[in-house]
Amino acid sequence: MINKKPIKVAVGMSGGLDSTIAAFLLKQQGYDVIGLTMQIWSGADSIKIKRNGCYGPGEAKDIADAKKAAKKIGIPHFVVDLRKEYQKIIIEYFRNEYKKGKTPNPCVVCNSKIKFGLFLDKAIKGGITFDYFATGHYCRIKLDKINNLYLLKTGIDKSKDQSYFLYRLTQKQLSKILFPLGNKKKNDIREIAKQNSFTEYANKEESQNFIECNNSSNIFSLGKPGEIIDIKGNVLGSHNGISRYTVGQRKNLKIGGLKEPYYVLKIDNKKNQIIAGPKNLAFSNKATINNINWIVPPRLITDKQIKAKIRYGSNFSECTLKIKNSKEATLYFTKPVFAVTPGQSAVLYNKDVVLGGGIIVK
Does residue 3 lie in a domain region? no
In the set 54, 107, 139, 213, the catalytic residue is: 213
Q: Specify the pairing of strand 32-39 against strand 8-12.
A: parallel
Alpha-carbon torsion angle 213, 214, 218, 224, nearest 10? 140
Does residue 265 lie in a domain region? yes
Whole domain around residue 143: which residue ranges?
A: 8-211
Model confidence band, residue 319 (pLDDT cutoffs 50, 70, 90):
very high
CATH number, domain at 22? Answer: 3.40.50.620
Domain boundary pick from 162, 179, 211: 211
Residues 53 and 143 in one domain: yes
Mean pLDDT of 25-30: 97
Residues 34 and 141 in one domain: yes
Model confidence band, residue 358 (pLDDT cutoffs 50, 70, 90):
very high
Does 319 qualify as catalytic in the annotation?
no
Residues 327 and 182 in one domain: no
CA distance 258 to 250: 13
* Helix (H), strand (E) at residue 90: none
CA distance 185 to 350: 22
Mean pLDDT of 339-345: 94
**Do residues 219 and 244 touch, judged by C-beta distance below 8 A?**
no
CATH number, domain at 230? Answer: 2.30.30.280
Residues 206 and 235 in one domain: no
Q: Does residue 56 have a pLDDT over 90? A: no
Q: Does residue 1 have a pLDDT over 50? A: no
Domain boundary pick from 211, 242, 272: 211
Does residue 356 lie in a domain region? yes
DSSP lists the bridge partners of residue 211 as 55
Residues 74 and 18 in one domain: yes
Residues 194 and 243 in one domain: no
The average confidence (pLDDT) of the chain is 90
CATH number, domain at 342? Answer: 2.40.30.10
Does residue 1 lie in a domain region? no
- pLDDT at residue 51, rounded to an integer: 46
- pLDDT at residue 209, rounded to an integer: 61
Residues 231 and 344 in one domain: no
Domain boundary pick from 178, 211, 244: 211
In the set 54, 107, 110, 319, the catalytic residue is: 110
**Do residues 265 and 247 touch, judged by C-beta distance below 8 A?**
yes
Residues 157 and 272 in one domain: no
**Do residues 66 and 35 touch, judged by C-beta distance below 8 A?**
yes
* Ramachandran area for residue 356 (φ above 0: left; ψ -120 to 50: alpha; else beta): left
CA distance 55 to 48: 13
Q: Which of 17-26, 55-64, 259-268 has the lowest mean pLDDT?
A: 55-64
Model confidence band, residue 211 (pLDDT cutoffs 50, 70, 90):
low
Residues 67 and 173 in one domain: yes
Q: Which of 31-40, 54-63, 80-89, 269-278 has the lowest mean pLDDT?
A: 54-63
- pLDDT at residue 257, rounded to an integer: 81
Does residue 22 lie in a domain region? yes
C-alpha closest to that of 223 among 49, 344, 102, 52: 102
Q: What is the pLDDT of residues 182-205, one digit of tens each?
A: 999 999 999 999 999 999 988 887
Residues 88 and 165 in one domain: yes
Residues 169 and 22 in one domain: yes
Q: How many domains does the chain have?
A: 3
Does residue 126 lie in a domain region? yes
Does 139 qualify as catalytic in the annotation?
no
- pLDDT at residue 221, rounded to an integer: 63
Q: Does residue 215 have a pLDDT over 60? A: no
Q: What are the b/e assignments for 105-117, b being 16+ CB within 10 Å?
A: bbbbbbbbbbbbb
Q: Does residue 50 have a pLDDT over 60? A: no
How far lies 353's CA from each of 153, 172, 317, 335, in Å?
4, 18, 15, 22
Residues 75 and 122 in one domain: yes
- pLDDT at residue 220, rounded to an integer: 59
Q: What is the pLDDT of residues 272-317, one digit of tens each?
A: 999 999 999 999 999 999 999 999 999 998 777 799 999 998 999 9
Q: Does residue 213 have a pLDDT over 80? A: no
